[in-house]
Structure 1
Amino acid sequence: MTTIVTVASGKGGVGKSVTVSNLGLALAARGRKVVVADLDLGGSNLATLFGAFEEGPDLGSFLSRDVSSLADVMRPLRRDLWLIAGAGETLATANPNWGMKQRLLRQLRKLPADVVLVDVGAGAGAHALDFFNAGDLRIVVTVPEPTASVDAYRFIKLATVREAVTRVSSRDPGRRVLERRDFHRASELWTTLGAEPGDEAATPRAAAPWVVVNQATDARRHFERLQIVTRRFLARELRLLGEIPRDPAVAEAVGAFLPVVESQPSSPAARAFVELARRVDDELIRHGIARRDGPVESPLPRVAASASTRPELPAGRRAAFPPPPSAG
């Protein structure tokens, strides 16, 4: 069973992709088969954070049907960790139609992995909302700044509205009205849909979103402020997954094109990412998803140890990657 974990943010520059890269590596170190998928259609950079500069098949290859299966574009990064690199800069891949998105989401669930971590594009565009809402577990990354808090709330609000509206048939003329209306409270949305709280139409498909507060000094206070507003206007609960402290080791790791859990595993930020991975792993276990490889590995692989797991790529314009692991 493949679990989809989607990671989004209300704005750019809050550490979303850094969170995905470090969380992916930390989960792999716990014995999970992990795929990190860059679905940031407007500015993919997940490959850069792993130093994976080699050319090869990517998300664009799948969207343009150069390959038939999404598994064909999985690139090995480290032990138990694979990457689906973001699409190239073409108009078609930057703005896929509904059918392309649905094909992509179906294929994500067929990947031979325990967990697929999806790096959703920043902002609250339709693609970002749809990809976020496809997650079994959903994470919103923010920072303790007023504008970031507003953007995080706006994203959660629009994701809630988008999920409810997409349950209305596209042939229903009322759907366009719903899409154009600005709902200030969840009750307005349910009334317009003719639903009551607790009805199927008013019930999100996934559990309450998790929040990660990056560059934090008092994450709990920041989270509680966001929670109060979300409860009041959206009647939704949030869960605090954890906080990442402000740590110069993160910027140094990004400059070295490595996740901080690999480049500086003893740093405060690395330890915080490892704790996030433990909490996500516990959630997977609660959902009945056991690790395929048994016990947790410790410690996290360091750069020297993990270098041997990086694929040696042949010369040439398009690299040939080893096949992905079998689904069993």
Structure 2
Amino acid sequence: MSETFPLVFSVTSGKGGVGKTNLSVNLALELAKKGKRVVLVDADLGLANVDVLLGLTPPRNLFHLFHEGAGIRDILFPTPYNFSILPASSGMSEMLTLSTGQKLELLEAMDDLEGSIDCLIVDTGAGINENVLYFNLAAQQRLVVLTPEPTSLTDAYALIKVLKMAHGVEHFKICVNMAKDAATAKEVFKRLYQACDHFLDGVSLDFLGFVPRDPSVRAGVVQQKPFCAFAPDSPASQAVAAMAETILTWEPPHELDGNIKFFWKKLLFR
């Protein structure tokens, strides 16, 4: 990971219920444990739950940035796990589709954090709606989460297809969550890889790893604590820690892909 430029990656999925937000929270914790200054953005703007998973009640969220004039540092909220979150609102219909002006406002506001963070994790909503696509395009890397369920595989492919066909995105990291074992996870990845290879010319998939089915994951959710803190020696926690190690080797892109990014000014003028 670059020491002078924040690494920005989205954690995204085609289908809801695949454990995307839980993975985002635990990756943030593991990267923070490795000494990185981490901010996790809850970009599921209408159905936010990062704060719920952490058992936190921030007084402000991204709604206040767009509608009440709050600054980004007014919203930034520290967690007990040495990373901070930018929480979003839940049940606010005004947040379901950001206007072009609001998208640019958020990108501009985020510039204020550039020098004080090493890693920005963007937990998107599920699906292929406009907000999901926007946050995926604004990230440098995209981590697509899916499970062994056939519907999850189909929806992950649909998300990749839209990002490739409509926006020219070709590189994706893949995590298989809730897998029975490594063989199951690799088979899921193989099926997604074959579909993309056959129908989407130029798409590159990189298998980041898998998180096994593990009762500690559910126990952490119930207790509103990250499972990597609740049960650090569990198989799921060890898997996430290994993925965090790999993420530390990622580098910012060497050239822009035509989509406006978080911290794009520094990317453009470095």
Q: TM-score range by the shorter chain?
A: 0.7 to 0.9
**Runs ≥4 in structure 1, deviation > 6 angstroms?**
none
Hey, what does 1:230 align to over in structure 2?
196
Of residues 64, 85, 94 in structure 2, which corresponds to 1:92? 94
Q: Are 1:16 and 2:20 counterparts?
A: yes
Residues 15 and 152 of structure 2 are in contact (CA less than 8 Å); yes or no, is this contact kept in structure 1? yes
Hey, what does 2:62 align to over in structure 1?
59
Cα distance, 1:160 vs structure 2: 1.7
TM-score, normalised with respect to structure 2 = 0.85
Of residues 8, 25, 37 in structure 1, which corresponds to 2:29? 25
For residues 75 and 231 of structure 2, what CA distance do their matches in structure 1 show? 29
Cα distance, 1:219 vs structure 2: 1.1
Deviations 1:194-226 (A, max 9, x none): xxxxxxxxxx3xx71101000112211110110
Paired letter, 2:177: N
For residues 285 and 78 of structure 1, what CA distance do their matches in structure 2 show? 28
Deviations 1:270-327 (A, max 9, x none): 101101111101224998xxxxxxxxxxxxxxxxxxxxxxxxxxxxxxxxxxxxxxxx
For residues 198 and 112 of structure 2, what CA distance do their matches in structure 1 show? 38
Q: Are 1:72 and 2:97 counterparts?
A: no
For residues 123 and 285 of structure 1, what CA distance do their matches in structure 2 show? 25
For residues 144 and 110 of structure 1, what CA distance do their matches in structure 2 show? 40
Q: Quick one: percent identity of the two aligned structures?
A: 32
Q: Are 1:211 and 2:181 counterparts?
A: no
Hey, what does 2:257 align to over in structure 1?
none
Hey, what does 2:109 align to over in structure 1?
107
Aligned with 2:142: secondary structure? strand
Of residues 148, 161, 166 in structure 2, which corresponds to 1:144? 148
Aligned with 2:250: secondary structure? helix
Pair 50,105 (structure 1): closer, same or farther in 2 beyond 3 Å? same
Query: Which structure has the larger Rg over C-alpha atoms?
Result: 1
Hey, what does 2:261 align to over in structure 1?
none
Residues 38 and 118 of structure 1 are in contact (CA less than 8 Å); yes or no, is this contact kept in structure 2? yes
Q: Are 1:283 and 2:229 counterparts?
A: no
Q: Which has the higher strand share?
A: 2
Deviations 1:102-158 (A, max 9, x none): 221333344231111011001111110111111111100000111110000001111
Residues 36 and 84 of structure 1 are in contact (CA less than 8 Å); yes or no, is this contact kept in structure 2? yes
Pair 277,213 (structure 1): closer, same or farther in 2 beyond 3 Å? same
For residues 243 and 233 of structure 2, what CA distance do their matches in structure 1 show? 15
Q: Are 1:5 and 2:9 counterparts?
A: yes
Paired letter, 1:279: T
Paired letter, 1:66: G
Hey, what does 2:212 align to over in structure 1?
245
For residues 157 and 286 of structure 1, what CA distance do their matches in structure 2 show? 21
Pair 254,225 (structure 1): closer, same or farther in 2 beyond 3 Å? same
For residues 104 and 162 of structure 1, what CA distance do their matches in structure 2 show? 23
Residues 18 and 145 of structure 2 are in contact (CA less than 8 Å); yes or no, is this contact kept in structure 1? yes
For residues 138 and 93 of structure 1, what CA distance do their matches in structure 2 show? 22
Paired letter, 2:209: G
Paired letter, 1:225: R
Give the unaligned 5+ runs of structure 2. Answer: 255-270
For residues 286 and 90 of structure 1, what CA distance do their matches in structure 2 show? 34
For residues 228 and 251 of structure 2, what CA distance do their matches in structure 1 show? 21
Aligned with 1:44: secondary structure? coil
Hey, what does 1:50 align to over in structure 2?
54
Pair 138,58 (structure 1): closer, same or farther in 2 beyond 3 Å? same
For residues 226 and 158 of structure 1, what CA distance do their matches in structure 2 show? 15
Paired letter, 2:229: E
Residues 213 and 242 of structure 1 are in contact (CA less than 8 Å); yes or no, is this contact kept in structure 2? yes
For residues 213 and 81 of structure 2, what CA distance do their matches in structure 1 show? 28
The number of aligned residues is 244
TM-score, normalised with respect to structure 1 = 0.71
Paired letter, 2:108: R
